[in-house]
Amino acid sequence: MPPAPSGLLKPVNGSRHGDQRSVQAAMARKKQGFPKMSACGKAVVLLPLLLLGCIYFFVYPKEFELQALMSSCSPPPGAYTAAPRRLAGEPGASRKPDFRLLIGVLTRADNYERRHLLRMVYGLQLAAGDLVAHVDIRFVFCRLNKDEQRVLVALEILIHGDVIVLDDCEENLNGGKTYTFFSAVARLYRDEPYDYVMKADDDIFFRLPRLVESLGEMPRQDMYYGATIPCDSMDPFHEYMSGMGYALSWDLVEWVATSDVPRNRTVGPEDRMTGQWLRLGRKGRNRFNAKPAMYDYPLPVPVDKCSHEFVPDTIAVHRLKDNPRWAEALDYFNFTAGIVPSKFYKIDFD
Ligand SMILES: *[C@@H]1O[C@H](CO)[C@@H](O)[C@H](O)[C@H]1NC(C)=O
Ligand SMILES: *[C@@H]1O[C@H](CO)[C@@H](O)[C@H](O)[C@H]1NC(C)=O
């Protein structure tokens, strides 16, 4: 049975058998936790988190204490209570995330190094434990086509469990991959839907706390969120959202998966096609333009208004196409601030 993609913070180096046992136990418990009773339904949202917490606790007791995320297998106190609940408004449910967000990073199987970087960048942000939403990051490819990928990507799946391999698409963003992604997500997560599903490039860096804060204020229905194209427009109804990263509410994801309108129009510049689907289908009546907080890497000579200097309230920086650019952005946003002096390394920061 293929492992279902789960969190980025799965234990990676416990004994193999220990891991399998705890995963099996976790799955068994998860099954029991799925009765059709509505009272228990609410617990289902928290269950995967709890199970992760339990697994993490047994494998990494030290780090666990350090992070002070939780001290037992009971729900993390306060981890998801920092903002008022806006989901179903059930008074009895406590510690429920404000909303659930899936970020699908559409990338190619061979981009091993970029995935390594992205896992660190998002893993650090998720580990901080300060998000009021449940956020999952998945790496999305079309079918594997090399023998080495079948081994090396399988290893990633075993360790990280954060990969989705789509059927029936070609590794070309303008050849229908986005359509296949949204349709597959509607099917794969039908039983546990997200509130928003984001399509993201692999050269964009999201600051999750800012993204969650911004998305959290949005309507949960008929919502189309991103950075408006053309670059000099701030009107989200003008054309469409840049392919760097845009989010659709779950009802729109389901609509994409079932309507004829997108099915007949899968090939073309993927971001413009998404905008066209919504216009033709009269969908996405709620829209939000996140510019200027979402922008392209500041080029010395900006080619258009999508690119500008780093700013403190950034939601996302796009066109981080090489390691120096990533390093520059991560440095600006103080990602290494937590590093402490040690006899094991010497790193000079200026
Ligand atoms: C989609 O294409 C089919 C076959 O060409 C056609 O019958 C149908 O009307 C089209 N639907 C839309 C919404 O364009
Ligand atoms: C990074 O840290 C410095 C020094 O503490 C601070 O002045 C700056 O505002 C921080 N930058 C961001 C983007 O938070």
pLDDT, tens digit, for every residue of 201-227?
Answer: 999 999 999 999 999 999 999 999 999
Q: Mean of the per-residue pLDDT values for the chain?
A: 80
Task: For residue 70, name the pLDDT band (cuts at 50, 70, 90).
Answer: very low
Of the chain, the percentage scoring pLDDT greater than 90 comes to 58
Is the preceding omega at residue 292 within 30 degrees of 0, hence cis?
Answer: yes
Placement of tokens 């008929």 in the chain: 222
**Ligand 1 centre distance from Cα of residue 284 (Å):** 21
**Ligand 2 centre distance from Cα of residue 339 (Å):** 15
Identity at 307, one-letter amino acid code: S
Q: 100-106 and 196-200 as β-strands: parallel, antiparallel, unpaired?
A: parallel
Please choose, from the candidates 148, 192, 147, 186, the residue with its C-alpha nearest in 3D space to the C-alpha of residue 164: 186
Ligand that comes closest to the CA of residue 280? 1
The best mutation among 207, 210, 311, 334 to test binding of ligand 2, ranked by most ligand atoms within 8 Å of the C-beta, falls on 334
Provide residues with CB under 6 Å of ligand 1.
260-261, 264
> What is the separation of C-alpha 3 from the centre of its chain, rounded to a whole number of angstroms?
18
Please tell me the distance from the alpha carbon of residue 19 to that of residue 12, in angstroms, as a whole number.
9
Please tell me the distance from the alpha carbon of residue 345 to that of residue 102, in angstroms, as a whole number.
36
* pTM for the model: 0.74
- Name the CATH code of domain 97-293 (choices 3.40.50.960, 3.40.50.720, 2.60.40.10, 3.90.550.50): 3.90.550.50
Q: Do 42 and 92 touch, CB atoms closer than 8 A?
A: yes
Please tell me the distance from the alpha carbon of residue 152 to that of residue 300, in angstroms, as a whole number.
38
pLDDT for res 350: 59
Domain ranges of the chain: 1-85, 97-293
Q: Which residue has the higher pLDDT, 155 or 266?
A: 155
Please tell me the distance from the alpha carbon of residue 213 to that of residue 210, in angstroms, as a whole number.
5
Per-residue pLDDT for 323 more than 80? yes
Per-residue pLDDT for 18 more than 90? no
